[in-house]
Structure 1
């Protein structure tokens, strides 16, 4: 029996995914989660064959959730489902380690075909995407791997640095001591192998990272 986790905060879309998969695929065990923390917990507690993951559910903004999931569960195949469909996002997603990108406008039968292909180890993106959208971008991958080493708190500090906030302002936003912010900044510099805030801003800008609203340490 295949176990697929549907991670999306919209119940109606999860229902649509469930219907599409149950109609076209046999012997399925479907799990559902609605935020990043719940998704991580479910992946820890179950043997999941495929994760269908929404980029923008609670706890995850832009690439953060995918980077975090790929770090914690590198052996679990992930396909991103998203209502935002453009070449830039698809390229970023595929270079972050996803095996597929399924737009939320995809027909039910096509969703099932995509899932079947990904479960067989193939890469799947919509046919209308340019052929080079899945090309390997070594520089991007290296940046994503560096960021994956950050804790959720360090990640948020990096994003706030990108937005130009000073340590006092970051401390206020995160409701922590300035000394704690300084410790996070030092850790970010060390893990990303950089020496200053300017370099940190460049990395966050290149990946187009956005701070998640609330993420617990996992």
Structure 2
């Protein structure tokens, strides 16, 4: 049993190392996903601003078309005004011209506002495009580093999985099954040392008779408190 316990401890060290590699691997994958998210968010923001600018330009063009129409109306009314014979008709046309000129002024003001807004938005888009380009460049560098890290981890995992398979085959299947069940229940730690009368897994005192039975190494001994497998290093005791 002692030999099997040492093999289980070796298996546990491999499992813990594999757990750590998988955790590190997932962390790198999460970092890569976050980089993609940041770039996509920046790209969507630039696209949204471009959409705003296109809408502004469309509104501005509509105002300019309305302005051109009013200018034509004014010009026609001014020509017609020169041909009018009666005072009443003259005043009516003059009133039309005045209203058209007022609307023209309002349209010009609105066009000026739209022009200013478009210029500000265009400047913002230029700045955000520069930020996006910088982010994409930095992301490319960081992704390269992450890929290198993933490659290293994958190589380590491949070697550890081979070692795990070899070690597992050297242990009775029923013992491996029990070890795996304990690992799931005890945060990955199924085999612990018994030291100075205590379980190093839960730090509880072990009954003297149980502790003494570890020296015989005949049967599997579990901690009565945490149920972990107890291993005694006699050269240390």
TM-score (norm 1): 0.24
Of the two, which has the highest radius of gyration?
2
Bigger relative contact order (CA 8 A; separation at least 6): 2
Higher helix share: 2
TM-score (norm 2): 0.23
